[in-house]
Amino acid sequence: MQENIFKIRRAFLIPLWAIVVLFFALLVQSLFIGQLWEKIVSAIFFALLLAIAIEASERAIIVADNKLKIKKFFRQKEFDWEKVTNLGIVELGKKVYFLISATRGLYFFSNMTERHAQLVDLLMKKMDEERVEPQVREYLKRPVERLSLIVMSYVAVLTIAVIIIMKYLQA
């Protein structure tokens, strides 16, 4: 049984984990030379970013011959292909969300998923023609890559690094 695994793009996960590490450094730094509000804010942001990074790293969509598996943090949903009722799309500029309707709920993924066009193509091949919206086929003719979020992530890494350096130099 062949499985195709699709996760969040590494180009996004690398700066996200860098931000988590930098916030941890900022938290440690604020424990020694920071005020109380800095400690609290740093701890809250670190905890939130750590949870988001773990969730993003664990998220996966697995397309197998007989099942579709959607894996999230500490949970996994499995569907036989006949229980997947619809594949749709919502385009908001460069942000694209794919909607998978199943008998047990609605699930979505974005174009931040690695090889998302290949994933959508695999999903279309596994589903009947009438369960796939025509806009999905149109999208595959001209898939859109979302690079702005990745660029903003690297800008955030640089900004946090500058904050840590400036705080260290002031001490």
pLDDT confidence of residue 112: 86
DSSP character string of the chain: --EEEEEB-HHHHHHHHHHHHHHHHHHHHHHHH--HHHHHHHHHHHHHHHHHHHHHHH-EEEEESSEEEEEETTEEEEEEGGGEEEEEEEEETTEEEEEEEETTEEEEEETTBTTHHHHHHHHHHHS-GGGB-HHHHHHHHS-----HHHHHHHHHHHHHHHHHHHHHHH-
pLDDT confidence of residue 20: 95
pLDDT digits (tens, 9 = 90+) for 56-88: 999 998 888 888 888 888 788 888 888 888 888
pLDDT confidence of residue 146: 81
**Taking the chain (171 residues) in consecutive chunks of 10 residues, what is each chunk's mean pLDDT?**
85 93 92 88 94 92 87 84 86 87 84 87 85 86 84 92 87 62
